[in-house]
Amino acid sequence: MERHIYRNGDNDYLIDGRKVRLRDIHDLFMDTGLGRDSFSIISQGRVEAIFNAKPEERRAIFEEAAGVLKYKTRKKETESKLNQTQDNLDRLEDIIYELDGQINPLEKQAATAKRYLELDEERRQTQLNLLVHDIEVGKKICPKRKRIWQRSRTN
């Protein structure tokens, strides 16, 4: 087993020359009873300390020796992840609720904007029709004005 420490603070862990995660190393030692707090080999003075330990401490020692600690650790990690996921779901529900409240006003604004665009297009079309009409009327009136102007000059 090897550990490479880099100046930037990163670590690489290797078992038999293969790169592994720190978690893999912890799992390996939890299964063997050689963990940080394991008592696979117990000195004579330590036996008395185990007997005098609180029930919770003794239970932890026996669970580690039996290999149960690994599963309890994973269970705690999984429960923590589930709690985080539930918190994320709660936040998403809050966001959805807030956005749902914005939908109706936005739909009304969209309908108003669409109506405005329709009316603006109608106004532009009406102005265009009015200009075309003015040009047509101007074309009809222009020859008549010209004749009137010529008559007034000759008189």
The pLDDT of residue 118 is above 90: yes
Can you tell me the distance from the alpha carbon of 113 to that of 153, in angstroms, rounded to the nearest whole number? 57
Kindly indicate the confidence band of residue 104, based on its pLDDT and cuts at 50, 70 and 90.
very high
The answer to the question of residue 23 being in a domain is yes
How far lies 118's CA from each of 11, 101, 108, in Å?
A: 65, 27, 15
pLDDT average, residue stretch 71-97: 95
The answer to the question of residue 15 being in a domain is yes
The answer to the question of residue 11 being in a domain is yes
The answer to the question of residue 120 being in a domain is no
The answer to the question of residue 26 being in a domain is yes
The count of structural domains within the chain is 1
Containing structural domain, residue 18: 1-35
The pLDDT of residue 39 is above 60: no
